[in-house]
Amino acid sequence: MTQRYFEDLRSGERLQSGQYIVTEKEIINFAREFDPQPFHLDATVARQTMFGSLIASGWHTAAITMRLFVQTLNFAEGAIGLGVDELRWPAAVKAGDVLEVETEIVDLRLSRSKPSHGIVRLRNVTTNQRGEIVQTMSASALVLRRSDGITR
Amino acid sequence: MTQRYFEDLRSGERLQSGQYIVTEKEIINFAREFDPQPFHLDATVARQTMFGSLIASGWHTAAITMRLFVQTLNFAEGAIGLGVDELRWPAAVKAGDVLEVETEIVDLRLSRSKPSHGIVRLRNVTTNQRGEIVQTMSASALVLRRSDGITR
C-alpha cells in the first residue's frame, strides 16, 4: 500500500476505512485490562443495566477507530497525535458489531516548529453495520512532508 | 473498597489514583492491536524518530488513565462516559514510566433525562514518575445517585 505524505491530502477530502468486527471476548479482555466496569465485563450483569447487554468501553471504540484510521491513511513514518476534541459516543458498541470509520480532512497547514512536517486537522466518524454513529471526534496530527515539498 | 455515589462527590475535590508501571511489552502489544505505527512498535526504528525511543500510543495512555480513574473513584454500577474534550499528550510515555492520575471534580448536576443519575464534569491529569504531565483531558460521566438522594 502506498505511503501517504502531507502533500497527498486535500482539504474536504473524505476517506473510508476497512471494517472491524467486535467480539464479546475482545470487549471483555479490553475492559479487564483498562475499564473494569460491570457493563463492560459481564454479559449477565450488563443485561440488568440501562444498556440491556454487554457494551464496549468507549476507549476500546476509540482504539479500534485508531486502528482503522492508521490502516486507511498509512502515513509515511506515521501520524503523531497532537490532540483530540469533542470525543463522543452517541450509541453503544456491542458484540458482533462491524465498525468502520470515515475520515474527513478538515484543514491542512505547515508546522512552524517542524518544517519537515505539516499539521492535519481531521474528523473521524465511526459507524456500525446499521449506519448508526457510535463515535465522533476531531483530532490534529503531525505528518511528514515530502522532502521535495512537491505535490504529486 | 467503598462504592461511591453522585452524592459523595464535592465540586473542587481532587482524588489521587494508584500507580501503573508501563512495560515495553505492553506498549508493543497495544500498538500491534490498535495503533501499528513505527514509533509504537519497534524500539530500533523508534530510536531514529524524533522521540529517540519507543513511545506508547496516546490511546494506550488514555486507556491506562481510565483504569487508574475507575479504580480510584469506584462508582456504584460504574460511570458512563458521555464525552471527552481537550485530550492532549504534552509528553511521551516510554517503557518503565510509572503513571498516576489526579482527578479534579469540576462540576456536579442532576441528570434531567435520568433522574436516578447525576452528571459529573471532571478533569484528569496523568503524570509520570518525574512529575511531567503526559496527558490531560476533560470528561463528563453519568453516575448513580443514592436511592434516598441523601448526602452522607
Lowest mean pLDDT among A17-21, A77-81, A100-104: A77-81
pLDDT in tens, B57-67: 999 999 999 99
Give the residue numbers in A contacting B (CB under 8 Å), as ranges. 30, 33-40, 49-50, 57-59, 62-64, 66-67, 70-71, 77-89, 114
A67 and B34 within 8 Å at the Cβ level: the answer is: yes
pLDDT in tens, B30-71: 999 999 999 999 989 888 888 889 999 999 999 999 999 999
B38 and A78 within 8 Å at the Cβ level: the answer is: yes
Interval A39-66 mean pLDDT: 93
B85 and A85 within 8 Å at the Cβ level: the answer is: yes
Positive or negative CA dihedral for B11, B12, B17, B22? positive
* Banded pLDDT at B19 (limits 50, 70, 90): very high
pLDDT in tens, B79-97: 999 999 999 999 999 999 9
The residue type of B151 is T
Query: Which chain B residues are within 8 Å of A89, Cβ to Cβ?
Result: 81-83
| pLDDT score of B120 | 97
Average pLDDT, chain B: 94
Q: Is the pLDDT of residue A109 over 90?
A: yes
| pLDDT score of A63 | 98
Nearest to B23 by CA among B93, B100, B115, B81: B93
| pLDDT score of A152 | 53
Tell me if A135 sits within 8 A of A62, measured CB to CB: yes
In the three-class reduction of DSSP (H, G, I as helix; E, B as strand; rest coil), residue B5 is classed as coil
In a mutagenesis test of the B interface, which of A25, A71, A77, A124 is the best target, namely the one with the most B β-carbons within 10 Å? A77
Query: Which chain A residues are within 8 Å of B17, Cβ to Cβ?
Result: none
In a mutagenesis test of the A interface, which of B23, B40, B50, B59 is the best target, namely the one with the most A β-carbons within 10 Å? B59
Contacts for A103 with CB less than 8 Å, ≥ 6 apart: A14, A15, A17, A69, A72, A73, A122, A123, A124
